[in-house]
Amino acid sequence: MRSKLHIVILAAGIGKRMKSSLPKVLHELAGKPMLSHVLEAAGALQPYRVCVVIGHGGEQVRERFCTSDLIWIKQEPQLGTGHALLQALPELDDEGSTLILYGDVPLVQAETLSRLIQEGLEEKCAILTTELENPYGYGRIIRNKDTHAITCIVEQKDADETQLSVNEINTGIMHIPNRKLHMWLPKLKNDNAQKEYYLTDLIKMAVDENVPIVSTQPKHNWEILGVNSRTQMAELERIYQKENANRLLEDGVTLYDSSRIDVRGQLECGSDVEIDINCLFEGHVKLGNDVKIKANCILRDVTVADGTIIYPFSHIESSEIGKGCKIGPYSRIRPNTNLNDNVHIGNFVEIKQSHISGGSKVNHLSYIGDTVIGQNVNVGAGTITCNYDGAYKHQTIIEDNVFIGSDTQLVAPVKISQGTTIGAGSTITKDTPENELTLSRAKQVTLTGWKRPSKNK
């Protein structure tokens, strides 16, 4: 049986090198704050309690996560990682253990953490370590030459030449029994190069008391990378995106270039989906079987049903697209739009908060807002629904089998009854009768013999 798992996320560091007024852990990776990523990994372990240690700018962090069930702990001033954990000590129940995470190490995987916790069961201390070709800046794991047992962790600034040559580093992520934390944390001293209370000094205390120390390694070294600067942030973003793209490929999605897709949220794909270059998916996007997304499209919170093709440069938000539709190129579909099966939306068409039934087409240069369109309707080029009177929005209803001639304005509220044909160039302000031709157009006249003015020679 696992004891009560506590998780403490250290997030009080100022993050000076980000050069930002936003607290570091609120900077976004793949469309959400770094801290959200850490909280997700933490949540997957089903912890008994999660504490977040915050410092400078902490209120902003707290507000951002106000709906979550977290315990916020203020650390002021920031006197080191050991001091940070000390602030959380009153929240750590004796009959539990604590996993220490960093708010600025966002890519750590729950699977790795779960292994670390397994290693550290039964009153052991468990450290997540790894070997780095260039260990500069990290605390080094010092082991006994003969037994290979961990004897201590030495920080970069306190290490001697021999210690600096060690490649095994402390990732900072540890799992320690709470009873030990209650004994050890108050005893930490800051007699070191940085005059900080080092969490890593607990390891020496564990050795002195013969508490077993075990270690485990992450599956991938990118899991333990921290963010101190925007350069590192950008590097982690690419790692995240590359990993995500690889997962999509493994799941059977065709990516024309796996380094030119960005997913900021969740992308679910059916079978045989194809995604061309430079597409961005935000929020929750669900693509059915055989969907094709051509180059340079942006989809946010969208569901696309089987067999639909989204042509290049289309932008679709908070909408549902049916089966066999053709959208774009250059279509803009705004929130609360619902397109049934086999709808065609063409170039330079904007659709907002509208419902379009099966088989209808709006193929060129139109604005359709607050509109309900029936089946098999053809909306001609340049048609505008005039939905806004300057104060209120009004609805347009276009029933089944309507044909709207090009360059028509439909002044809402208005109903175009089924079977209506609207002559091109009309301004329609009144409801139309069924199955008739309606048009509003000055009669065409010809002035015979009229001459164009010409300059005097």
Q: Which residues of the shown chain bind ligand UD1 in the complex (CB under 6 A)?
A: 10-13, 53, 75, 78-81, 83-84, 102-104, 138-139, 153, 155, 169-172, 198-200, 226
CB 52 within 8 A of CB 73: yes
- Three-class SS state of 447: coil
Q: From the CB of 36, what's the least distance to ligand UD1, in Å?
A: 15
Q: From the CB of 203, what's the least distance to ligand UD1, in Å?
A: 10
Q: Which amino acid is at 155?
A: E
Cα distance between the two ends of the chain = 105
Q: From the CB of 208, what's the least distance to ligand UD1, in Å?
A: 18
Q: From the CB of 35, what's the least distance to ligand UD1, in Å?
A: 10
Nearest CB to ligand UD1, comparing residues 7 and 285: 7
The Cα-based distances of 313 to 76, 298, 326, 338, 341 in angstroms read 49, 8, 13, 20, 21
Cβ-based neighbours of 134, under 8 Å, separated by 6 or more: none
Nearest CB to ligand UD1, comparing residues 10 and 30: 10
Query: In the structure encoding, which two tokens stand for residue 375, read together?
Result: 């089946």
Q: From the CB of 151, what's the least distance to ligand UD1, in Å?
A: 15
How far apart are alpha carbons 223 and 30 in whole angstroms? 15
Cβ-based neighbours of 27, under 8 Å, separated by 6 or more: 18, 20, 33, 34, 227, 233
Catalytic residue among 182, 220, 355, 364: 364
Nearest residue to ligand UD1 by CB is 139
CB 408 within 8 A of CB 424: yes
Sign of the C-alpha dihedral, residues 183, 186, 191, 195?
positive
Nearest CB to ligand UD1, comparing residues 198 and 367: 198
175 catalytic? Reply is no
Active site residues: 364
